[in-house]
Amino acid sequence: MPAVSKGDGMRGLAVFISDIRNCKSKEAEIKRINKELANIRSKFKGDKALDGYSKKKYVCKLLFIFLLGHDIDFGHMEAVNLLSSNRYTEKQIGYLFISVLVNSNSELIRLINNAIKNDLASRNPTFMGLALHCIANVGSREMAEAFAGEIPKILVAGDTMDSVKQSAALCLLRLYRTSPDLVPMGDWTSRVVHLLNDQHLGVVTAATSLITTLAQKNPEEFKTSVSLAVSRLSRIVTSASTDLQDYTYYFVPAPWLSVKLLRLLQCYPPPEDPAVRGRLTECLETILNKAQEPPKSKKVQHSNAKNAVLFEAISLIIHHDSEPNLLVRACNQLGQFLQHRETNLRYLALESMCTLASSEFSHEAVKTHIETVINALKTERDVSVRQRAVDLLYAMCDRSNAQQIVAEMLNYLETADYSIREEIVLKVAILAEKYAVDYTWYVDTILNLIRIAGDYVSEEVWYRVIQIVINRDDVQGYAAKTVFEALQAPACHENLVKVGGYILGEFGNLIAGDPRSSPLIQFNLLHSKFHLCSVPTRALLLSTYIKFVNLFPEIKTTIQDVLRSDSQLKNADVELQQRAVEYLRLSTIASTDILATVLEEMPPFPERESSILAKLKKKKGPGTVTDLEEIKKERSSDMNGSAEPASVNASAVSTPSPSADLLGLGAAPLANSAPPPSSSGSLLVDVFSDSASAVAPLAPGSDDNFASPDLASSEVVSEEPADTVHDADELFHKFVCKNNGVLFENQLLQIGLKSEFRQNLGRMFIFYGNKTSTQFLNFTPTVICSDDLQSSLNLQTKPVDPTVDGGAQVQQVVNIECVSDFMEAPILNIQFRYGGTFQNLSVKLPITLNKFFQPTEMSSQDFFQRWKQLSNPKQEVQNIFKAKHPMDAEITKAKIIGFGSALLEEVDPNPANFVGAGIIHTKTTQIGCLLRLEPNLQAQMYRLTLRTSKEAVSQRLCELLSEQF
Amino acid sequence: MIKFFLMVNKQGQTRLSRYYEHVEIKKRTMLEAEVIKNCLSRSKDQCSFIEYKDFKLVYRQYAALFVVVGIDHTENEMAVYELIHNFVEVLDKYFSRVSELDIMFNLDRVHIILDEMVLNGCIVETNRNRILAPLLVLDKVAES
């Protein structure tokens, strides 16, 4: 092998480089370089024609100068001249100069193209290789125009040398990327696919890159590549470690090619052909098995190469997301890596596990590693590994572990690197909101965030906590108390002053009864922070003060004194001055009534997408320092796209409360949005005008009515509706006493309901929310009634649009008429295509007999008179059952009212008992119903008695109501 | 896709740079300076992948020389990490115990080797003998 100055060693070059190395300072280096540039320039301009050797020497010097970061504005022409040299060494250096120094919009391209054309026609494989490399690396549009027709021919011609084929494949890839319009698909496409079968692994390596890019844009045309890639992969994976000779790297057969093939397969859904699918599964299993075998070499290169393939195989398994067995094995493998001594492996394992967490098959398996991940957060010495751990905790978070994860993230935040604090703050805020069952926990969490990392709590975060407190009256008193306490700290963050000021201004009255937080104390506390705050915060506090004037007339004069002080009225800041003047005036001239109106409590905020989530997404976006970004715009949007499924999945599991939904998916129309326009007569308008009662079931405190979204979700997705409808019964029962809420939810889909009934008519709005970022196709919901049911229940549904965009929601209306009493519930069947897979699921639609109840008020005397009239054994149905929920009288009352009957107070001689009365309206008849519920607190039992004129009705109502307590 | 391939020494001097997307020379020097700063600030127990702007850096250190590769999200980190080693082994084979000086004095040959391995940001050849084949032809021509 050659020594330092090799082959045709260029002495001048060596001297120059040595000189540069000996330069003691940057200035000296620049001086030496300028001297050399002047020298070369004069040589190029000189009269004496330079020989090839000299040209080559100078071009090499220019390359070196360029590498040092100096722009080269001459020598291009000389390089182009070298291209037409017949000496390989000269030609080579010419191409090198051009591919390093010439960019795609150079004026020289035409001259270069000429040289390339000659070399391509030369049939000399070395020259052809050089020319193709040049196209692959420069790849301008002009080059595409000149060669896009020819390259495919070279690529698939039978007599092309292997090395030329390799270059041609990458060359075509370049042209396709820069000018796809100039690379028309044609006969060559099918022959390109067959390059996957080529004997030569170098050709396969190059072709796989080309095919992957082409397949991403034209999946149909390159579909056949799937089976070819699988069989090639299978041959590699099962080969003995010496079979592939030079393509074996430290006993791993063709690792880079395997990775590329696995990438290619990620352009497609799982193969449909069972044979191909089986073979692929076998391959993936073999790869997973190999990870457990003792290593064939102790060298780290061996395990690295093996793991490169393994990680790619796991990516494919996650991409397919269809083989629970493989997914769980992948998860176990990654779990092992989480504790590996190599940092690289721990990092990559955390990263892959993040995507694994969003698969419904492996979500649970991922969750078992929570302790290890939390430990990583505490002990990893590398910030990027810790960041991955945070991402994974975020991805694996659900209702069951939210409290733990949020607590750990808060813990970590205290010591976290500054670079990732803001992101952690956003994540904590999102998780706390999304999984808040108890909103006091949410308020505590956000206040903790402000305490620990106040500087990183952006406006979006503290705006959101205020929105939520305003929209949920169950947490307002707690919030006021908590901020009041937090403000006691001698030094608190300005963000806390903002939140505290706003909340006390609205709800300070809720804690004013306590002498420790009397109006004056609240005011003094806030005002003690005033002078330390920035102008916007002070402006906010002034608004709080005027709100106090309304809330607490007793401290009006104190506040007026403050507003009147010079530091306010004559404040240099015009905004503060104006507020002080206006508020002072308002407090002086306005009557109590006007003040109360002007300064009324803020109305609930309209539902909107959480800006926190938008911000988190934005943070993941590209930075902006180099021009690389401009070129990569397209790519970075791809990247965001690919990141999205995880975040959408994670966030779309919305809780049913109106304010908790981060994406505005589903909950908004379920809750307090304006009613949809209705044109069908006064009946529905009536119901809508009574919107307070329609919203009531969603009111705080009724959260326990909502099943956790995970409930029965995985079981419900199935091909056989009959089996699975049963599993959803529990969710179904939640709707007996209420009309709105989330009926069903899994990883893909959320179904929400809003319905109203009056006499024997009803209308139900079904909202289908696509939780993924991918379109649902052929989306067909069907409401199915059994034959029996059809005669007693008339349902009319309007068809919905068959495509549901990612993140979008569609609405379906069902008009309902009850003809006669009925037992069963209709079934809602939903079919659609998601990605490549067909989804079919069925849920019971909660249209139950009690929905057609009209309450009837009656006196004790009337009640017992009718009770006796219905004493025929066939009219009475009784059930004695154990309490499933805590026996709370208020909740029981709410449920009986929700059930539809009137709740009759002071009717039963025993005040612990509940009695109710109502009439079931059907088109054909009206059926009077009486009910009596006798709780036995000691035994934790209930006795429920139903008396109606019709046995079947008594029976059904008793069944439905028994499930509620 | 591979965005760029760099060899930089501990003093921050670039010894090889190959960009697979056009980057202006001024931005190159800035980028190279930042990249090496990033690598130098890391200790041995940190991982070899750095998230940098919207791409990733994969790096390995050989004596005083860092090899740093910028990749996008479609690339497999571990495979690129071993690609670096494969490249260094090819250099080692050709120069018999490669040093920083070999790379400086034979910039054109190092470029040829890299171009045989990575083309247009894609791995095109991994077989050492085939990577070196064109170069051996070149040396033979030069000798004659």
Q: Is A895 annotated as a binding residue?
A: no
The pLDDT value recorded for residue A58 is 85
pLDDT for residue A728 is more than 50: yes
Chain B contact set for A16 (CB, 8 A) = none
The answer to whether residue B82 scores a pLDDT higher than 90 is yes
pLDDT number for residue A729: 65
pLDDT at position A461: 83
Predicted model pTM:
0.65
Mean pLDDT over each residue of chain A, to the nearest integer: 81
Percent of chain A scoring above 90 in pLDDT: 26
Report the pLDDT value the prediction gives residue A2, as an integer from 0 to 100: 43
Lowest mean pLDDT among A27-41, A203-217, A705-719, A929-943: A705-719
**Largest separation between any pair of C-alpha atoms in chain A:** 127
Contact status of B62 with chain A (Cβ, < 8 Å): no
Distance from the B63 Cα atom to the nearest Cα atom in chain A, whole angstroms? 17
Instruction: Put residue A7 in one of left, alpha, beta given phi > 0 → left and psi -120 to 50 → alpha.
Output: left
Confirm or reject contact between B10 and chain A (CB < 8 A).
no
pLDDT at A698: 28
B33 lies within 8 A of chain A by CB: no
Q: Which of A97, A216, A256 is most worth mutating to test chain B (most B CB atoms within 10 A of its CB)? A: A256
CB contact under 8 A, B82 and A247: no
**Which ipTM score applies to this complex?**
0.96
Domain A727-847: give its CATH code: 2.60.40.1230
B30 touches chain A (CB under 8 A): yes
Q: Cβ–Cβ of B125/A301 closer than 8 Å?
A: no
Residue A226 in tokens: 């799937």
For residue A919, what are the β-bridge partners?
A854, A928
Residue of B nearest to A629 (CA): B54
Check the annotation: does A43 bind a ligand: yes
Q: Are A280 and A241 in contact (CB under 8 A)?
A: no
| Alpha-carbon separation of residue A674 from A592, A601, A611 (angstroms) | 32, 21, 22
**Mutation test of the interface with chain A: which of B44, B72, B73, B115, choosing the one with the most A Cβ atoms within 10 A?**
B115
Interchain proximity B54–A259, CB inside 8 Å: no
List the 96-115 stretch of B: residues with Cβ below 8 A of A: 96, 101-102, 104-109, 111-112, 115
| Least-confidence region, from A4-8, A263-267, A583-587 | A4-8
- To the nearest whole Å, the CA of B38 is away from the closest chain A CA by 12
Most confident of the following: A122-136, A641-655, A878-892? A122-136
What's residue A863's pLDDT?
A: 84
Segment among A111-120, A508-517, A802-811, B88-97 with least mean pLDDT: A802-811
Half-sphere exposure of A858 (CA within 13 A, CB side): 22
Query: Mutual orientation of helices A383-396 and A402-413 as an angle, nearest 10°?
Result: 160
CATH for B2-143 is: 3.30.450.60
Query: Tokens 């409290």 — which residue?
Result: A403
Give yes or no for B128 touching A (CB within 8 A): yes
- Which one, of A755, A896, A726, lies nearest residue A814 by Cα? A755
pLDDT of residue A721 exceeding 50, the answer is no
**% pLDDT > 70, chain A:** 86
pLDDT at A447: 87
CB spacing of A382 vs B45 below 8 angstroms: yes
**CB atoms A104 and B139 under 8 Å:** no
pLDDT tens column, A151-173: 999 998 888 889 999 999 999 99
Cα distance from B73 to chain A (closest Cα, Å)? 7
- A2 with B95: Cβ contact below 8 A: yes
Q: Determine contact, residues B80/B2, Cβ cutoff 8 Å.
A: yes
Of A379, A375, A352, A434, nearest to A401 by C-alpha is A434
Q: Do A129 and B134 touch (CB under 8 A)?
A: yes
Size of chain A, expressed as the number of residues it contains: 965
Mean pLDDT (whole number) for B18-27 = 87
34-53 of B, contacting A, C-beta below 8 A: 34, 42-43, 45-51, 53
Is residue A358 very low, low, confident or very high in pLDDT (cuts 50, 70, 90)? confident
- Only one residue has tokens 């529905």, namely A684
- Where are chain A's structural domains? 727-847, 850-963
**Under 8 Å between Cβ of B57 and B70:** yes
Q: Do B127 and A202 touch (CB under 8 A)?
A: yes
Residue-wise pLDDT for B29-80, tens only, equals 899 999 999 888 888 888 999 988 888 999 999 988 999 999 999 999 999 9
- How far is B71 from chain A, CA to nearest CA, in Å? 12
pLDDT tens-digit series, residues A576-598: 998 999 999 888 888 888 888 88
Average pLDDT (A815-835) is: 87
Q: Which of A71, A173, A344 sits opposite B48 (nearest CB)?
A: A344
Residue of B nearest to A254 (CA): B126
**pLDDT exceeds 90 at position A195:** yes
With bands split at pLDDT 50, 70 and 90, how would you rate the model's confidence at A68? confident
The SS3 call for residue B84 is: helix
The answer on whether A53 is annotated among ligand-binding residues is: yes
| Res A668: pLDDT | 32
**Has A771 been labeled as part of a binding site?**
no
What is the nearest CA distance from B120 to chain A, expressed in angstroms? 5
**Domain spans in chain B, listed from the N-terminal domain onward:** 2-143
Q: Which of A23-27, A331-335, A609-613, B124-128 has the lowest mean pLDDT?
A: A609-613
Using the Cβ of B138 and the Cβ atoms of chain A, whether some distance falls under 8 Å is answered with yes
Looking at residue A337, what is its pLDDT? 94
Indicate the burial class of A13 (C-beta count within 10 angstroms; 0-12, 13-18, 19 or more): buried
Of the ranges A46-60, A716-730, B85-99, which one carries the lowest mean pLDDT score? A716-730
Q: Average of pLDDT values for A324-338?
A: 92
For domain A850-963, the CATH superfamily is TATA-Binding Protein (3.30.310.10)
| Residue A806 CB burial class (10 angstroms; 0-12, 13-18, ≥19) | middle
CB A213 within 8 A of CB A174: no
pLDDT band at A105 (very low <50, low <70, confident <90, very high): low
Does position A209 have pLDDT exceeding 80, yes or no?
yes
B106:A6 CB<8 A: yes
Looking at A600-706, list the stretches that DSSP marks H as alpha helix, in order from N- to C-terminal side. 611-619, 628-652, 667-670, 681-689, 691-695
Whether A702 shows a pLDDT value over 70: the answer reads: no
CA B2 to chain A, closest CA, distance in angstroms equals 12
Q: How far apart are CA A640 and CA A663, in angstroms?
A: 17
| Predicted local confidence at residue A278, as pLDDT | 95
Q: A657 pLDDT exceeds 70?
A: no
